[in-house]
Chains A and B, each alone.
Chain A
Amino acid sequence: MNGHRGSATRHWRNQRMTSIALLPLGLWFLFALLLQPALDHATVAAWLAKPLQALLAALFGGAMLWHSMQGVEVVLEDYVRGRTLTLSILLSRLAHTAAAVALSWAIFTIAAGGA
């Protein structure tokens, strides 16, 4: 288990926390997206420029990427061994961090009305 800094119990508990958070957040995002009157730029930018919607989108995106990172690590730990495990977990963390940075930039830009 050389993937985790800190205890495996904490990793397990955090993964349950993000799961529970994603139940309402995931439903919110899916239904908000599916119920948009149209999916052109003006409509979706106006939707995500509303402060509460931007906050929810940031919470959903953050929880989703964190949960994704936790899940990928658990799967990697089961099927990959040794240095490959360390390397693949590092790559997964880099990719998830890059995605989170891009996500924050996008949501800030949309919410600030710059889109």
Chain B
Amino acid sequence: MRGIWPWEAPTPFWQNGLAMQSPAERPLSPHLQVYRPMYTMVLSILHRASGLYLSACSLLFVAWLAAIAAGPAAYSGASRFFSSLAVRLVLTAALAAFWYHFFAGIRHLAWDAGLGFEKTSSRRSAAVVLVCAAAAFAATMCLSRAGRWLMGAP
């Protein structure tokens, strides 16, 4: 990479290929496509995507409660719907999204409190978030009856 070493003449960041996908004549306004994906950006996008996904899944939660309220006959119909492979996949993804959004949300709250902004600590907390979310997802999938039901156990 040219222009980033101390013995070279400094190159503006929009020409050194570190921040942007391809060098440009001038700094470009923040359209996502011009930046190289960095872990900060990927985690931030994942936080938004998991949040939107959980928003959509909240309709399933409300529908499930409404089916309970509507009585046993309606609930057995809803049970068939929720036990179908497609919906179980959707719910499994919702469980993963829940855990990711939960731990990444704690990271965002810490940032809001002014903690962990340093490059090293934010890099470390990114790894912690990913490991915690993966571990919690695996534990809830494998150790709970509902998790095993999601994986196809009766």
Contacts and interface: CB of A to CB of B under 8 A. Distances in A.
A34 B147 contact: yes
**Band of interface residues on A:** 35 or more
A64 B54 CA distance: 9
Interface of A is mostly: helix
B106 A23 contact: yes
A19 B51 CA distance: 12
B62 A26 contact: no
A106 B108 CA distance: 33
A48 B68 contact: yes
A109 B69 contact: yes
Nearest to A108: B69
Interface in B70-103: 70-72, 75-76, 79, 95, 98, 102
A61 B65 contact: yes
A94 interface: no
A115 B144 contact: no
B52 interface: yes
Nearest to B106: A23
A103 B62 contact: yes
Contact of B62 (A35, A37, A61): A61
A45 interface: yes
Contacts of B52: 71-72, 75
Contacts of B59: 99
30 contacts: A16-B109, A16-B112, A19-B105, A30-B95, A30-B140, A33-B146, A34-B145, A34-B146, A36-B146, A39-B146, A39-B149, A41-B71, A41-B72, A41-B76, A44-B68, A48-B65, A64-B58, A64-B61, A68-B51, A68-B55, A71-B52, A72-B55, A102-B65, A103-B62, A103-B65, A105-B66, A106-B62, A110-B69, A115-B70, A115-B71
